[in-house]
Amino acid sequence: MWRIVEWITHSAIRPPGVALSFRVQVATTVLSVVILLVFYVGAISKVDYGLWVKQQDWEWKDGAPGLVNGFSFAMWFFLGIEELPLAIEDTIDPHVNMPKGLLSSIATLLVLAFATSFFNTAIAPGAAAIFASASPLLDGYKTIFGDNSVTSGFSWLLIVGLLASFHSFIYCMGRLVMAMARDGFLPSMLAKVHPVRQTPTVGILVGSVLGLVTVIIMYYAIGFVRLGAVLINLALLGALISYAFQLASFLALRIREPDLLRPYKSPFGVPGAILCLVLVAYAVFTIIHQGSASTDFLVSIVIAAIYFVVGAVWFVGFARHHIHPLRLLHDGYVHVESPAAKGTTV
């Protein structure tokens, strides 16, 4: 029930406007980082890598098979960062600020992901216990500050991290649904925006309902115990397929349109895109491998396959006849005003 309340709350915050949405996002994100920094500082004096990782045989757990089984969950640290460009229409001077935002966000995630993983496993109760824990960060706080009523009550504050990520997903979902509907991939009604706030209210409502229905169906299909892990794999499958298409599009544009105006140019170029495609393929393999070894994880693969099949049928039967890929260019949805290309639509 609390998950449903949280879903409704975050979906309701978005329609009133991007200003309120961004203020909530910034507040929850800053508070989440502060909570993590407090944890790192408190954990430093209690770190014993040899005792809590090596002696528990978790330094290279299960070797190569362990890498395969854990790869998808390591990706969860970074899932969603690729959606940041969806905020380009709400960004001031996007050709300058969007690359800065992407690079600084990825750098921040790298540091926080490594620090959280290291400090949480290198202190008591150790890597093995953290692996089995439903609340690993809370267990880390109990190690540092003691297992008492204050620490237990503090668990409510740790939910802020979930609020920050969940809220950003709602924002990106609304933008993505609106963009796809605007280009003809989805019904045009999903592109409708609020007459005053200009927020994609219909897309947010429909996307939120579909997401909530999916969670409820999976809850009754596999139960609560492994629901979180299975949902992670389900979300990752969708993300990885989208990564593959984005990278393929990037390579196609680099080859076919080498002289196209680019307000931002990837420093890694074609080699970087090819390497990322290889990593995407490996990540998909790890998820399928997990599905072949567990009935619960197989559910995520089956559901992903169903919505991809439904999407393919929708594309062949309807969407491909209504797509207008140049609409963004012709209608000037993204307008770049840089000294070198002022007034240029990209």
**Residue 329 domain-assigned (yes or no):** no
Q: Nearest to residue 81, comparing CAs of 101, 61, 59?
A: 101
Which ranges constitute the DSSP H helices of the chain? 2-13, 18-43, 49, 63-75, 94-121, 127-132, 136-145, 149-182, 201-222, 227-256, 269-293, 295-317, 327-331
Same domain for 177 and 228, yes or no, is no
**Residue 217 domain-assigned (yes or no):** no
- Name the phi and psi angles at 52, rounded to 5: -95, -10
Same domain for 134 and 261, yes or no, is no
Task: Give residue 93's pLDDT.
Answer: 87
Same domain for 165 and 19, yes or no, is yes
pLDDT of 100 > 50? The answer is yes
- At 327, the pLDDT band (50, 70, 90 cuts) reads low
Query: At residue 251, what is the residue type?
Result: L
Task: Give residue 107's pLDDT.
Answer: 93
Q: Nearest to residue 59, comparing CAs of 137, 118, 141?
A: 118
Instruction: Report yes or no: 133 and 139 within 8 Å, Cβ to Cβ.
Output: yes
Same domain for 121 and 231, yes or no, is no
- At 8, the pLDDT band (50, 70, 90 cuts) reads low
Choose the final residue of a domain: 181, 198, 215: 198
Instruction: Give mean pLDDT, residues 197-212.
Output: 84
Instruction: Give mean pLDDT, residues 133-138.
Output: 86
Here the tokens at position 212 are 């909530």
**Residue 332 domain-assigned (yes or no):** no
| 333 DSSP assignment | S
Choose the final residue of a domain: 152, 182, 198: 198
Instruction: Report yes or no: 132 and 122 within 8 Å, Cβ to Cβ.
Output: no
Instruction: Report yes or no: 121 and 50 within 8 Å, Cβ to Cβ.
Output: no
Instruction: Give mean pLDDT, residues 219-228.
Output: 78
Same domain for 5 and 150, yes or no, is yes
Instruction: Report yes or no: 301 and 287 within 8 Å, Cβ to Cβ.
Output: yes
Same domain for 126 and 72, yes or no, is yes
Q: What is the pTM of this model?
A: 0.77
Task: Tell me the pLDDT tens digit for each residue of 9-18.
Answer: 656 655 556 6
Instruction: Give mean pLDDT, residues 113-125.
Output: 94
Give the C-alpha separation, 136 to 75, whole Å: 17
Give helix 136-145 / helix 149-182 axis angle, nearest 10°: 150
| 227 DSSP assignment | H
Give the C-alpha separation, 71 to 77, whole Å: 11
Same domain for 132 and 281, yes or no, is no
**Residue 218 domain-assigned (yes or no):** no
Query: At residue 303, what is the residue type?
Result: I
Instruction: Report yes or no: 136 and 126 within 8 Å, Cβ to Cβ.
Output: no
| Higher pLDDT pick, 15 / 111 | 111
Same domain for 252 and 167, yes or no, is no
Same domain for 173 and 287, yes or no, is no
Q: Nearest to residue 204, comparing CAs of 4, 6, 12, 26?
A: 12
Same domain for 189 and 257, yes or no, is no
Number of domains comprising the chain: 2
**Residue 204 domain-assigned (yes or no):** no
Give the Cβ contact number of residue 317 at 10 Å: 9
Give the C-alpha separation, 252 to 274, whole Å: 12
- At 51, the pLDDT band (50, 70, 90 cuts) reads very high
Same domain for 158 and 261, yes or no, is no
Here the tokens at position 176 are 């993505």
Same domain for 229 and 193, yes or no, is no
**Residue 92 domain-assigned (yes or no):** yes
**Residue 273 domain-assigned (yes or no):** yes
Range of the domain at 191: 1-198
**Residue 211 domain-assigned (yes or no):** no
Q: Which residues contact 128 (CB under 8 A, 6 or more apart)?
A: 56, 58
Task: Give residue 6's pLDDT.
Answer: 60
Here the tokens at position 196 are 């005053």
